[in-house]
Structure 1
């Protein structure tokens, strides 16, 4: 059953507000604050997300769908090597938030693979197209696979966290990884 247009808008506003509030204040942020930030009543929030875990899961899955859409859009870029590098930089920059949301869900006992199964597959397919294009153009080594790229993204996201606010360190880390992708 699909949602009415106003219900879809409310759901989208709740997810957007929840992401901002959860990133800023963590899982202890009250749902009332999220509802206020979304401009909806608490009853509306709970109709869409009966538990806080379901709300956090919704935010996590929505981020994965956006990541997949970004990869699919970039797969159409006429410069596949630059498109892949752009995607990797963007994904790594968002990695801290994704890691924090994943940790929140894991600590709540949510199975991430089960929760995000469809969205993860969407990311894998879009990333596969982006990688194939870059490989076919000769910009990326031919032996690299999607699973390898996902591993590099996960590792780079953690490495960036260790770099802290040092932008030059973050850039160097990403440059080393991107250099390693070249044939």
Structure 2
């Protein structure tokens, strides 16, 4: 029988973070090291060889949840041959799913603000996300009465507020509703 090569400390830490994150959505900061160890398939002592405390592991998992890497990957999958409205609904759906997950994690973990981040790295990610969002709208720029950047700003603001249970008074908007309001407004077409 061939044994797998042992994990490096960084690999073990990453595996523990990956195992912990889904548990946080369910248990918040009250997740036990026993649950984490079971999810990771390791002994509880392994957690403390990789992290100084359970709180350190939980903080690392929360920080990972706020990294935008998967968001960018999902945005890259938007098919540019689709009509503008379909591209925007898909874009808003991706943004809304991320926001709902982040808001849910914050609620479960008792957070009132996102964790502190490396500002330089965050700014690089933000620029990459904004550039991709503008690319999604770009082919239809001539049809717009505002710049692609302004359209995306409006979409992002409405998506944020329409995805936050407290702000939206528990009446979340669907991606289709958000896009329809931003692209077409709320006036009936036969009204002056």
Aligned-pair Cα RMSD in Å: 3.4
- Structure-2 separation of matches of 1:52 and 1:118: 28
Runs of at least 5 residues in structure 2 that lack an aligned partner in the other structure:
1-5, 185-192
- Structure-1 separation of matches of 2:81 and 2:50: 41
SS state at 2:132 partner: helix
Task: Provide, for residues 119-175 of structure 1, a one-character-per-residue CA deviation record: whole Å limited to 9, x for no partner.
Answer: 643542232122211332117752526655543332132158925xxxxxx6x5321
1:151 matched to 2:157 = yes
- Structure-2 separation of matches of 1:119 and 1:20: 24
Offset at residue 179 of structure 1 (A) = 1.8
Instruction: Please say which structure displays the higher CA radius of gyration.
Output: 2
Q: Is the 8 A contact 2:154 2:182 kept in 1?
A: no
Offset at residue 9 of structure 1 (A) = 3.6
2:117 alignment partner, one of 101, 115, 136:
115
- Structure-1 separation of matches of 2:117 and 2:110: 9
Q: Is the 8 A contact 2:134 2:152 kept in 1?
A: no
SS state at 1:27 partner: helix
SS state at 2:52 partner: coil
Q: Give TM-score, length-normalised by structure 2.
A: 0.65
1:87 matched to 2:95 = no
Offset at residue 22 of structure 1 (A) = 1.3
Counterpart in 2 of 1:55? 57
Runs of at least 5 residues in structure 1 that lack an aligned partner in the other structure:
164-169
Counterpart in 2 of 1:13? 15
Question: Are residues 152 and 123 of structure 1, via their aligned partners in 2, closer, same or farther at CA, if it must alter by over 3 Å?
Answer: farther
Q: Is the 8 A contact 1:18 1:59 kept in 2?
A: yes
Q: Is the 8 A contact 1:156 1:174 kept in 2?
A: no
Counterpart in 2 of 1:166? none
Which stretch shows the higher mean deviation, 52-61 or 173-182? 52-61
Question: Are residues 113 and 39 of structure 1, via their aligned partners in 2, closer, same or farther at CA, if it must alter by over 3 Å?
Answer: closer
1:66 alignment partner, one of 59, 65, 70:
70
- Structure-1 separation of matches of 2:155 and 2:48: 37
